[in-house]
């Protein structure tokens, strides 16, 4: 299935959704989907277009927006990547629907995005921080995170204490 | 009046069989697992953040430290990603060297995985010591080529760090029959052990459809019967020029994963044989500036690392430092289905199942 | 030859004569008894030193390693260095531990282990006490460590220790049954419960040849009693870290360690006595024969430890109740029947040997059948899942 076919089939299925193709600045076939229709499009991609394998969920902090990036492949067919992107212009409280109900493999990766980038996922079954402890100040992968040496004295009070650790 | 209670056990972070600082909160009913919650982050070093303030070449040593058993494969994946981003061509000899190194790494990883699986089963270090003996010989080769045994930092964007020394290929030629014999020996001595079979057959069953849904990759996926290997599905480097099969198993249990690793070792040796015969002379690297400035853009590249699919997602803003440096760790994502595999089994099986998934905590936490 | 054979007895007789020259008879008896007890305890400790060294070397050689080679020539003082290290280590009692039980467990564990040496015939005429119910004594003393391990596991206030204690009780009680049945078989053949009598009954044929099933069952049950691979899941280091003695350190840990190796020698000694004709067999002195056989049995156990993975708790209990108990019971009836019908001699040995082998082969065939069934089930489940994923598409 070529990229054009995928795009035309998607447009056919979702005539009312503004699916954009990112043409510049990327090496891969990239689609930008409105955040509120992500789950529908993703379900369609999985069930009807054969993208049964979600390889990677990640996020990028741009000056004007957050981007959540999904890299999809087809295990039955093989072949190249379909990059699915969601733009989140709300820099204060970025929030997007979780795709964990569609691809359970997204679970830990979405938790990682939540932990390190501070993007919340609606309907995620178990949205907790994964790498850092609850109470860690800030989200390190954001560009406004102060990248310096944090002392023990500074961080120790934020750490959860037994018996709740 | 008798009443029963469940016990909550923290398995880890200091536990001999969690393969690192990994914690599982087990809820037990007697010895049966009722619930399992994995906890990560004890080895989180923030490599993704740190790399954003380094140049593209300075980030290569960080990839060594992702999955420290397979440093060469990590270098390889990162190099492929940077080359895709910056549009760098790689000389043919360098591609051959990369394939040789990647397959040797796969051998190292799989023999350790098999050895440590037996350790987790209680075989008192014997298989793992034999695995380590063979691994040492491969590490000798790595040292010969890169100067380092574990943190090789050898495969760089543009090629490899240095040409192979003259004695490398003859020694590798001698090694290949030896390693084939080693795989045969493992099969002969371990595969039919009845206790091993009793512990492994039907334990930690991962159905094929579930494996795909949970984004499981690598030997664990193929042991569940899904024929998917990045080397075949989306060939990178020069893997399309080699003849090899993608072995799969049917049962999807611990035993199938063990057999799968042995089969993959055979295939790796097949590739190595072809690569050693065909490796051409020529340049070993394209010149890449040390402050590489890839054009503004982004790229996702992936390879079939020994533990599963290892991907790198790089975003460049045209400066010498990556804007976003994302690593898709196979170990973390392969753990997604751990809970589902373990429920209803015994405490002892958790250890076995974890051993059969084959994780490195440095790769899980990064 | 005779001199060598009686060496230790001659020394004892000479020493008794020496004492009698200046002590009243009751004092002589007392001194001799105390000396005997001391000798057995010292023997226990020497055994531990020797067998820890041997175990390390054997496992190392099996694993293609060298093993201890630093402390003294060939590392023979390794065990002593370990003992010094262990005795000088800090002694930790965990908070919230049951202090008295925690303290008592390592002491209680070592007593039955040493007591058992009393009935072990080390050579011709070399036995502490020739009890006429020695076999019952062995079984009774073998039951005490179960209690100790439960004590240790409970008192440690540690969940791994508690799990280890659960496993201990389940495992040891299960394995007592086939062990006792195997012992009964031997008693039936020998017609006596005294260990000396059993050794003497094996003058022509060792019972390992007469009834291999009982031998194998006893060997496996003995491995389970000793918590050794493949039944070492009481202290499975890769699962529950160290089981019931996880919280013990220093001297207290050393006591458990000591008890383990004293028991190792004891079980090997019992196997030798019950099945391998004890100190009998020609040419070499009797005590040397005993030692050689014990070392061979222990080597076998170490070999198993170095090469086999361990069972899971349910499989292990299943193995005891579904395989060992029925097999040993059938064997008991078989032996009772044949021993009633045939007189001791070549015919009886031959009939028993062949029928035992048939029984063993039958049991193994049934177990293999079960294992194959399980493999088929696992395969079928996998195939169904693959079909579910790929649907009607061709792979």
In a domain, A129, yes or no: yes
What percent of chain B has a predicted confidence (pLDDT) above 90? Answer: 2
DSSP B52-120: HTS-TTTTHHHHHTTSGGGHHHHHHHHHHHHHHHHT----HHHHHHHHHHHHHHHHHHHHHHHHHHHHH
Range in A146-160, B189-203, B273-287, C321-335 with the lowest mean pLDDT: A146-160
- What range defines the domain where residue A47 resides? 3-158
User: CA-nearest residue of chain B to A57?
Assistant: B328
Q: For B64, phi and psi rounded to 5 degrees?
A: -55, -35
Task: List chains adjacent to chain A, taking adjacency as at least 3 C-beta pairs closer than 8 Å.
Answer: B
In a domain, A165, yes or no: no
What confidence tens digit (pLDDT) does each residue in B1-38 have?
A: 677 778 888 887 878 777 778 888 888 887 788 888 88
Length of chain A: 165
Confidence of residue B360 (pLDDT cuts 50, 70, 90): confident
**Is B337 or A7 the better-scoring residue by pLDDT?**
B337
Question: Which CATH number covers residue A14?
Answer: 3.30.460.80
Residues of A in contact with B311 (CB under 8 A): 55-56, 71
pTM passes above 0.90 = no
Supply the pLDDT for residue A163: 66
Q: Do A55 and B215 touch (CB under 8 A)?
A: yes
Supply the pLDDT for residue B241: 87
B316, containing H or E segment: strand B308-316
Omega before C230 within 30 of 0, i.e. cis: yes
> What span, in angstroms and rounded, lies between the C-alpha atoms of B357 and B80?
26
Range in B358-362, C84-88, C282-286 with the lowest mean pLDDT: C282-286
Range in A20-29, A102-111, A145-154, B24-33 with the lowest mean pLDDT: A20-29
Chain C residues 136-165 with CB within 8 Å of chain B: 159-160, 162-163
Range in A116-130, B171-185, B227-241, C16-30 with the lowest mean pLDDT: C16-30
In a domain, C388, yes or no: no
Report the pLDDT averaged over residues B332-349.
Answer: 86
Q: Is B244's pLDDT higher than 70?
A: yes
Chain B residues 8-67 with CB within 8 Å of chain C: 9, 15-17, 28, 30-31
Residue in A72, A76, A79, A108 to test binding to B, most B beta-carbons within 10 Å: A108
Number of separate domains in chain C: 1
In a domain, A163, yes or no: no
Supply the pLDDT for residue A164: 57
Handedness of CA A46, A51, A52, A54 (dihedral sign): negative
In a domain, C22, yes or no: yes
What confidence tens digit (pLDDT) does each residue in C301-337 have?
A: 888 888 888 888 888 888 888 888 888 888 888 888 8
Report the pLDDT averaged over residues B157-179.
Answer: 88
> What span, in angstroms and rounded, lies between the C-alpha atoms of B17 and C128?
45
In a domain, A164, yes or no: no
Residues whose CB is less than 8 angstroms from the CB of residue C100 and which lie 6 or more positions away in sequence, other chains included: none
Angstrom CA distances, B28 to B10, B156, B346, stand at 11, 47, 9
In a domain, C391, yes or no: no
Q: Do A27 and B313 touch (CB under 8 A)?
A: no
> What span, in angstroms and rounded, lies between the C-alpha atoms of C208 and C185?
11
Residue B150 is encoded by which pair of tokens?
A: 């574990």
Q: Do C310 and B346 touch (CB under 8 A)?
A: no
In a domain, C136, yes or no: yes
Q: Is B219's pLDDT higher than 60?
A: yes
User: Mean pLDDT for chain B?
Assistant: 87
Residue A43 is encoded by which pair of tokens?
A: 């379900």
Task: List chains adjacent to chain C, taking adjacency as at least 3 C-beta pairs closer than 8 Å.
Answer: B
Supply the pLDDT for residue C121: 82
Q: Is A129's pLDDT higher than 80?
A: yes
In a domain, C390, yes or no: no
- What range defines the domain where residue C325 resides? 2-341
Q: Is A117's pLDDT higher than 80?
A: yes
Supply the pLDDT for residue C1: 60
Q: Is B194's pLDDT higher than 60?
A: yes
B305, containing H or E segment: strand B297-305
Q: Is C395's pLDDT higher than 50?
A: no
Number of separate domains in chain A: 1
Supply the pLDDT for residue A165: 53
């Amino acid at each position: 299935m070529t990229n054009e076919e995928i795009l035309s089939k998607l447009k056919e299925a979702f005539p009312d959704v503004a699916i954009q193709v990112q043409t510049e600045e990327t090496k891969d076939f990239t689609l930008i989907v409105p955040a509120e229709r992500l789950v529908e499009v993703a379900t369609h991609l999985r069930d009807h277009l054969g993208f049964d394998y979600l390889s990677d969920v990640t996020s990028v902090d741009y000056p004007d927006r957050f981007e959540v990036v999904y890299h999809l492949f087809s295990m039955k067919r093989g072949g190249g990547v379909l990059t699915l992107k969601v733009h989140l212009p709300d820099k204060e409280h970025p929030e997007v629907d979780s795709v964990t109900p569609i691809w359970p493999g997204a679970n830990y990766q979405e938790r990682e995005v939540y932990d390190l980038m501070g993007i919340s996922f609606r309907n995620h079954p178990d949205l907790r921080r994964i790498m850092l402890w609850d109470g860690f100040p800030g989200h390190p992968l954001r560009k406004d995170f102060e990248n310096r040496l944090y002392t023990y004295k500074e961080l120790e009070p934020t750490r959860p204490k037994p018996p709740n650790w | 009046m008798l009443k029963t209670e469940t016990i909550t056990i923290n398995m880890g972070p200091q536990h001999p069989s969690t393969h690192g600082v990994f914690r599982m909160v087990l809820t037990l009913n007697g010895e049966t697992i009722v619930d399992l919650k994995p906890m990560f982050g004890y080895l989180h070093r923030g490599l993704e953040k740190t790399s954003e303030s380094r140049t593209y070449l300075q980030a290569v040593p960080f990839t060594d430290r992702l999955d420290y058993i397979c440093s060469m494969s990590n270098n390889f994946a990162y190099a492929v990603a940077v080359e895709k981003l910056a549009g760098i061509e790689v000389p043919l000899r360098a591609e051959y060297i990369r394939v040789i190194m990647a397959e040797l790494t796969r051998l190292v990883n799989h023999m350790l995985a098999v050895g440590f699986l037996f350790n987790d089963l209680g075989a008192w270090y014997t298989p793992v010591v034999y695995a380590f003996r063979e691994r040492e010989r491969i590490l000798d080769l790595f040292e010969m080529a890169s100067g380092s045994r574990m943190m090789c930092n050898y495969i760089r964007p543009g090629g490899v760090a240095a040409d192979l020394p003259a004695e490398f290929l003859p020694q590798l030629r001698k090694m290949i029959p030896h390693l084939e014999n080693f795989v045969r020996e493992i099969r002969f001595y371990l595969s039919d052990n009845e206790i091993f079979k009793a512990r492994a057959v039907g334990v930690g069953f991962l159905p094929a459809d579930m494996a795909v849904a949970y984004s499981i990759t690598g030997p664990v996926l193929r042991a569940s019967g899904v024929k998917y290997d990045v080397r075949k599905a989306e060939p990178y480097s020069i893997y399309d020029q080699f003849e090899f099969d993608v072995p799969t198993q049917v049962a999807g249990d611990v035993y199938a994963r063990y057999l799968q690793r042995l089969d993959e070792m055979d295939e790796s040796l097949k590739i190595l044989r072809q690569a050693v015969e065909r490796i051409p002379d020529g340049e070993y690297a394209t010149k890449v500036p040390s402050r590489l400035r890839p054009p503004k853009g982004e790229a996702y590249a992936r390879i079939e690392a020994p533990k599963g699919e290892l991907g790198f997602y790089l975003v460049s803003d045209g400066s010498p430092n990556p804007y976003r440096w994302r690593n898709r760790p196979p170990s973390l994502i392969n753990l997604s289905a751990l809970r589902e595999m373990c429920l209803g089994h015994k405490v002892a099986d958790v250890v076995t199942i974890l051993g059969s998934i084959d994780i490195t905590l440095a790769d899980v936490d990064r | 030859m005779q001199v060598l054979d009686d060496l230790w007895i001659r020394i004892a007789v000479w020493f008794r004569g020496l004492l009698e020259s200046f002590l009243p008879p009751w004092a002589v008896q007392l001194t001799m008894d105390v000396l005997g007890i001391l000798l057995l305890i010292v023997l226990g400790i020497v055994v531990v030193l020797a067998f820890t060294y041997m175990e390390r070397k054997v496992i190392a050689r099996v694993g293609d390693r060298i093993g201890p080679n630093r402390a003294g020539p060939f590392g023979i003082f390794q065990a002593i260095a370990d003992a010094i290290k262990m005795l000088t280590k800090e002694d930790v009692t965990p908070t919230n531990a049951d202090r008295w039980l925690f303290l008592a467990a390592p002491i209680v564990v070592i007593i039955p282990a040493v007591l058992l040496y009393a009935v072990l015939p080390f050579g011709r005429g070399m036995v502490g006490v020739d009890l006429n119910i020695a076999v019952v004594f062995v079984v009774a003393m073998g039951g005490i460590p179960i209690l100790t391990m439960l004590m240790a596991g409970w008192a440690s206030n540690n969940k791994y220790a508690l799990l280890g204690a659960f496993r201990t009780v389940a495992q040891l009680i299960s394995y007592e049954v086939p062990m006792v049945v195997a012992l009964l078989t031997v008693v039936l053949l020998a017609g006596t419960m005294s260990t000396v009598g059993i050794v003497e009954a094996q003058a022509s044929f060792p019972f390992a040849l007469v009834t291999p099933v009982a031998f194998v069952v006893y060997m496996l049950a003995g491995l389970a009693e000793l918590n050794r691979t493949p039944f070492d899941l009481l202290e499975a280091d890769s699962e529950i870290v160290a089981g019931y003695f996880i919280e013990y350190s220093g001297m207290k840990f050393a006591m458990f360690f000591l008890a383990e190796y004293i028991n190792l020698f004891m079980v090997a000694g019992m196997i030798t006595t019950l099945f391998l004709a004890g100190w009998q067999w020609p040419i070499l002195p009797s005590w040397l024969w005993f030692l050689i056989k014990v070392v061979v049995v222990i080597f076998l156990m170490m070999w198993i430890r170095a090469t086999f993975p361990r069972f899971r708790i349910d499989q292990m209990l299943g193995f005891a109740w579904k395989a060992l108990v029925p097999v040993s019971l059938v064997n008991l009836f078989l032996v009772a029947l044949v021993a009633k019908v045939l007189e001791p001699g070549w015919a009886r040995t031959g009939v028993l040997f062949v029928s035992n082998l048939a029984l063993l082969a039958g049991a193994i065939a049934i177990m293999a059948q079960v294992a194959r069934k399980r493999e088929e089930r696992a395969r079928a489940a996998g195939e169904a899942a693959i079909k579910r994923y790929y649907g009607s598409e061709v792979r």
